[in-house]
Structure 1
Amino acid sequence: MKRTHLFSLLLVSLMNAPVAAAADAKQATISPALYQKIQSTDRLIADKAYGKAEQKLLAMVGEVKAGGLDQAVVLRSLASVYALKEQYAKATEWLSKAVTLNTLPDKQQQDALLNLGQLYLAAEQYAKAIETLKPWLAKNPVPDAQTHVLLANAYTQLKQYRNALPHISKAIQSTAKPEDSWYQLQLALFYELKDYQSAIPLLRKLMAANPTKNEYWSQLVAVYQQTNQYTQAATVKHLAYKKGLLNSEKEILDLVNLFLYAGLPYKAGSVLRSELDANRVASTVKNWELLANAWKQARELEKAVQALETASKLDDKGSLYQQLGQIYYEQENWNAAIAAMNKALAKGGLKQPGQAYMILGMSYYESNNTEQARQSFAKAKGFPSNRKNAEQWLSYLNKTNETS
């Protein structure tokens, strides 16, 4: 839990409560002499002279009668000084002694218990914080929002997430304007408990209140993905994109890939082509190949071919030209297939060069160029995986030549 001055402010207000104003079965007032000394230390504390206040209070500890209200008040004030100095371990030590005496008026005893729980939390003694607050909760069954937050943080630190969640939820429900950190804690608890469905409306609420905070948009996308709601995830991310919240190349490419995963390839292609034209996405082999794949999935073959042409020119290997040649062959665009396959073989680096020669040979054949077809099949024959098909084609060409 983040250490703020919240603890200090509470301690100043609660520990220096006017004991003389209390009236119950216990001794309600401290001695006049001690009252004057406490007022003196209060002024030092107000002037932030914590060292001097500490010295005076330590001297008083040895002077007051043990076991009475006077001692409890001095111990409580000393704890207050240590809390203001952010020496929480010492503060808990002294305040615990004051509480154990059980001589403070009831209201102040309850306030001291609450303060002690806060101090244990600040000192990162979370189990003690919860244990200390149990008697306080027994007398205060409807805690205020801050106490719920205190308990939620303590349980969270102990990884008792199911115990923490009701407290932070009650804190939020009981406050007109909950702090943002409370929502963040509730959201974190939903994540820890894998209650992603409950996280969705909370994130939508946070987004409505903070429409330009990219963090919430990203978290909602992630939750939708976690729950296999990819179309919703893509829709939210696309909306963030249209609002200008996605500015880096990585964020834009993440959107493109999410569209593809959600089965929305046309939207993926549209966004990527627009960003390539705007130079917000780099003109690389990988990105143009991604665009080609998007258009292919969208059955926009002409656009896919154009993108693959660009990718092939940028690539230092011939594999993309081979893919392009395959597409042209399937479209029965023989001349284009021949040109692409020759470029693929010239660039080299092919994983299946034999297959490239086969496509080249068949394209030449369909173009009535049997001699070039024969030469291509002869080269394909040199690759074991293509040898059988190449021999069959060569045999066919020989028979065709004999009968012509």
Structure 2
Amino acid sequence: MYSSKLTSITNNFQRVAKLSLLIGGLLLTTYSWSAPNSVSSKTYKELTSIQEMISANQTDQAFTALKTLHSEVEKDSLDEALVLQMLGYTEMGRNNYQQAIDHLKRSLALNRLPENVKYNVGYMVAQLYAAQEKYDEALVFAEEWFKTLEAPTPDQAIFMANIFAQTGKYKQAIPYAKQAIESGKEPRESWYQLLIACNFELKDYPQAAEALKGALIKWPAKADYWEQLASVYVLMDNEIKGLATLQLAWKAGVLEKENSIRSMVQLAVTHGIPEHGARLLDSALQKDALPRDKTYIDLLANAWLAARENTPAITAFEELAQLTKEGDPYLRIANIYIEKAEWKKAEAALRKALDMKLEEPGKAWLILGIAMTEQTRFDQGMDAFKKARAFAYTEKQASSWLKYAEDLRRQHNWITRNQS
């Protein structure tokens, strides 16, 4: 019923790459030249020069210089780790994500980078895998990286939620999505959408309802959330709440989708308040929120009929007959009059029905025969029964009524003669 809308993981890797390169350059200045793992003076100068190339958008020249520098630095050293790290960031800037991953993983494998840098590089690797939709690999790096964060930001938490969701681990994704929403000053709509989608995937409809209500507090004008919340209540077998939700949206002027308005009316009709449903539908038709076509006029007529509001029901059936150019709506009108024993009006409706296309004309002739018989117009009634008898589906009933009408006529004639 519901297709989940999992938030896509999109990042501007070129911007991230440039920022990471700048951070990498600043980190160079923090290393002590006397420390065992310090970067060499030559490598430091070369990397600083390469950063200037990158700042001038000379990415290809920077890449060539880095490749040359990598061939010159001491193997398994901090120098090599930093060069590989910058090679990875440079490849990110060139949109060569797989090559960037290879360089960054090699940098990590040397185990020379400071811890805070190491885990930021791991985060970059996770993002790069995610960009290529390699979510299982992304998750391996992201989980280790997230454990090192003392105070994760909402963006970092939602990144984890996205990765878990993309690997089908919706239950594990939910706590991260909630963490992002609860800790963010201005939670993004996509975060709520991810939380809602995960709960739908797990068929945890009560929690999906809670997430939808949270989204509605932030974005009350979004019709989709009202409609989804109503659908959740229906899935939870609480159709009254579903109806109430749609009604609130309708009163707020938010409900616009044709199928949602139709659902609102149908829920009202099927839950014992058809008059309310009919009035809602009539209002929607008056506002042009729904097309005044066969489907909705038929629904309107039947809603009024279910509410035992015969006058507006008859009006709607008459409109339906004009729309469809068919006689069946007049047959429905005739039945309304027959229930009230208004035989003359029933006759008029039946004759209109018979002048138009009918799905089962035999039924119209049968009912017309009854209406004429009840008016003691036996000859016309018997003629109608004979016509109804020509149809297989009314033959048996028509024959019985014909015999009954003949008996009534004889009885009526005998009484009339004796009275005179």
Alignment TM-score > 0.5, same fold: yes
Cα 1:10/1:219, change in 2 over 3 Å: farther
Contact 1:370–1:397 (8 Å) recurs in 2: yes
Contact 1:293–1:304 (8 Å) recurs in 2: yes
Contact 1:44–1:52 (8 Å) recurs in 2: yes
* 3-state SS of 1:21 partner: coil
| TM-superposed deviation, 1:118 | 2.6
Count of equivalent residues: 403
TM-score between both structures, scaled by the size of structure 1: 0.91
User: Larger deviation: 134-143 or 251-260?
Assistant: 134-143
Contact 1:14–1:108 (8 Å) recurs in 2: no
Structure 2, unpaired ranges of 5+: 1-7, 415-420
| Aligned equivalent of 2:402 | 394
Structure 1 residues 96-128: Cα deviation after superposition (integer angstroms, max 9, x where no partner): 000000112233223322332232222322222
Contact 1:96–1:116 (8 Å) recurs in 2: yes
| Aligned equivalent of 2:295 | 286
| Aligned equivalent of 1:371 | 379
Provide the rounded CA distance (Å) in 1 between the counterparts of 2:171 and 2:184.
Answer: 21
Provide the rounded CA distance (Å) in 1 between the counterparts of 2:291 and 2:159.
Answer: 49
Matched, 1:182 2:175: no
User: Larger deviation: 338-347 or 381-390?
Assistant: 381-390
Provide the rounded CA distance (Å) in 1 between the counterparts of 2:248 and 2:153.
Answer: 39
Contact 2:275–2:303 (8 Å) recurs in 1: yes
Alignment equivalent of 1:121, drawn from 123, 126, 130:
130
Cα 1:401/1:76, change in 2 over 3 Å: closer
Q: Partner amino acid for 1:110?
A: Y
Contact 1:120–1:129 (8 Å) recurs in 2: yes
Q: Partner amino acid for 2:96?
A: Q
* 3-state SS of 1:384 partner: coil
Cα 1:209/1:398, change in 2 over 3 Å: closer
| TM-superposed deviation, 1:223 | 1.7
Contact 1:21–1:28 (8 Å) recurs in 2: no
Which aligned pairs between 1:295-306 and structure 2 lie closer than 5 A? 295-306=304-315
Cα 1:108/1:249, change in 2 over 3 Å: closer
| Aligned equivalent of 2:4 | none
Cα 1:387/1:195, change in 2 over 3 Å: same
| Aligned equivalent of 1:215 | 224
Q: Partner amino acid for 2:385?
A: F
TM-score between both structures, scaled by the size of structure 2: 0.87
| Aligned equivalent of 2:238 | 229
Provide the rounded CA distance (Å) in 1 between the counterparts of 2:291 and 2:357.
Answer: 25
Contact 1:190–1:196 (8 Å) recurs in 2: yes
Which aligned pairs between 1:238-249 and structure 2 lie closer than 5 A? 238-247=247-256, 249=258
Contact 1:289–1:308 (8 Å) recurs in 2: yes
Structure 1 residues 214-241: Cα deviation after superposition (integer angstroms, max 9, x where no partner): 2222222222222222222222222222
Provide the rounded CA distance (Å) in 2 between the counterparts of 1:340 and 1:140.
Answer: 79
| Aligned equivalent of 2:174 | 165
Contact 1:130–1:154 (8 Å) recurs in 2: yes
| TM-superposed deviation, 1:178 | 2.6
Q: Partner amino acid for 2:389?
A: K
Provide the rounded CA distance (Å) in 2 between the counterparts of 1:281 and 1:136.
Answer: 53
Matched, 1:362 2:353: no
Identity over aligned pairs, percent = 29
Question: RMSD of the TM alignment (CA)?
Answer: 2.5
| Higher RCO (CA < 8 A, seq sep 6+) | 2
Structure 1, unpaired ranges of 5+: none
Provide the rounded CA distance (Å) in 2 between the counterparts of 1:290 and 1:226.
Answer: 23
Structure 1 residues 366-399: Cα deviation after superposition (integer angstroms, max 9, x where no partner): 1121111111112122233333333333333333
Cα 1:162/1:321, change in 2 over 3 Å: same
Matched, 1:31 2:40: yes
Contact 2:33–2:40 (8 Å) recurs in 1: no
Structure 1 residues 26-74: Cα deviation after superposition (integer angstroms, max 9, x where no partner): 7342111111111111122223322221121111111111111111110
Contact 1:259–1:265 (8 Å) recurs in 2: yes
Contact 1:34–1:70 (8 Å) recurs in 2: yes
| TM-superposed deviation, 1:348 | 2.9
| Aligned equivalent of 2:65 | 56
Structure 1 residues 229-278: Cα deviation after superposition (integer angstroms, max 9, x where no partner): 22222222222222222345555334323433444322221122223334
Q: Partner amino acid for 1:288?
A: I
Contact 2:368–2:381 (8 Å) recurs in 1: yes
Provide the rounded CA distance (Å) in 2 between the counterparts of 1:355 and 1:185.
Answer: 56
Q: Partner amino acid for 1:357?
A: W
Cα 1:129/1:384, change in 2 over 3 Å: closer
